[in-house]
Structure 1
Amino acid sequence: MLLISTACFTGSAGYTIIPSSERPDDIPEELIDSSGADGTHTFWDLPLYFKLISIFCFLSFSSFGFFKFFPFLLGKIGFRRGEKNRKRILSYISNHPGCSEGDILKDLRMKRGTFRYHADKLKMANMLSSA
């Protein structure tokens, strides 16, 4: 990330490119020289080199942000998969009250560790109680 940001900031070759709306308001207009190289230009008026550097920097920083939140998105997907198993366990227990752990494991084709994990989650949420 440090190399990308260094390439982005040195890619301007000594020029300072800021949006025209970021000029300080406390400087009087008569003191601002906006002729020649100091003028206001649109993005499309810039040389191709600056356009490519700007686009590359935008894409690199936005992809970094995407990959930063990618594990969070995967966690949400994994949470929903676990929620499906918990719903299966709850519906089985409500249809077969008084069933044993072995019955649930056999009928739902679930491993013992998986069942105990989801049963503990259901107990913590006060949706399941054991006698």
Structure 2
Amino acid sequence: MIKGDKIKLVHKMGVFDNIGEICEVTDIQEGGVICFKFGGCHLGCMSYDEYEKYFEKVETPVKKPWSDWSLVHKLTFIDIRGDEKTIKYQYRDNGKRIQVRSGALKAGSSCYDEDEFSLSSGLELAEMRLIVKYLDNQVKSIAKAM
């Protein structure tokens, strides 16, 4: 445990009974005394034995870096005028989010922390959002030309 770690109250500790509250370790003093911040502005101290009895460490997931942009893919759909349109795009992911780009258009999708990441589902959603952006630009262009 180090300064800045997050810990969560899992058992009532005297009047400190907000089970599930996330606290931040502010200092580890000589002798193993753990100082922590809770409730946004309150400070507390406890021994390591008390920590083991009442708290658990909150593990923060390591963020995966973005992958390189993929090779060019093609996406075919029907535009506002009813014509078949094919655009080229690339995508990348970081194990939680997917980004797609085609020229100046960009779109993305992400999953909740508790969901399992699915590249195919995320890519499908991001592609649909890219199509919506393309169609939105097409409508604006038509309206401007009127």
Bigger share in helix: 1
Q: Provide the TM-score with structure 1 as the length reference.
A: 0.26
Which is greater in Rg?
Answer: 1
The structure, 1 or 2, with the larger RCO (C-alpha pairs under 8 Å, 6+ apart) is 1
